[in-house]
Structure 1
């Protein structure tokens, strides 16, 4: 089974929001490489839920992909932060996906802790200059991160 890491700002969607809602739409991905990762996700895939752009960035829990990808409706909403004037009903280059709650960690695993793990050296998250909001996680990396919780 493929594993993933997906970043969200907690004031937009946090692991605790997802826990309360049980399921939510993951949208607003506006990087083509990250979008391609979204498009390769399958229902049942697991992902680490990473809180970004906050006082304590890090992995806050686990979610599950619950749908196939579909056109991201926020690209067509003029009032949305993720509006894309070039997108249309017929030609929407952006994708969204539905996700469900699996687990909230008792504590966030901080980025500094992740960077200190030799088993995670190839993980794009810990590499300098990588800012993708969606990325694959190798099975060995998944296990190494689970051991940190």
Structure 2
């Protein structure tokens, strides 16, 4: 009798744990273009070209995913975003359930009809470790 009640409690706890896990913790892929935040907020596309001086005035850039809809990419540096402004891109990551933001895992740019990865969280972490931790830049490289 004690064994049955213990099994029931374990099953109830397992079920409760599965229900408690947020369903948004899975990667999604979003396709769109990179636009200046101020412009996106005001409902316009700008800069009008990659050499537009307006780029310098934008504090951040966002992913335009629909008519007037955009997502912030807070863990992607401004330098990466500005490099691909106005380009067609794919962003893979976890979208925040309440905010218009995505934690970017992979950033791809359309080149020649296909999307090419230009930044990934995994690669950025590797380069950070190589630069600041062990000084090794490539797998298999030996420290002197």
TM-score scaled by structure 2? Answer: 0.25
Q: Which has the larger radius of gyration?
A: 2
TM-score scaled by structure 1? Answer: 0.25
Q: Which structure has greater helix proportion?
A: 2
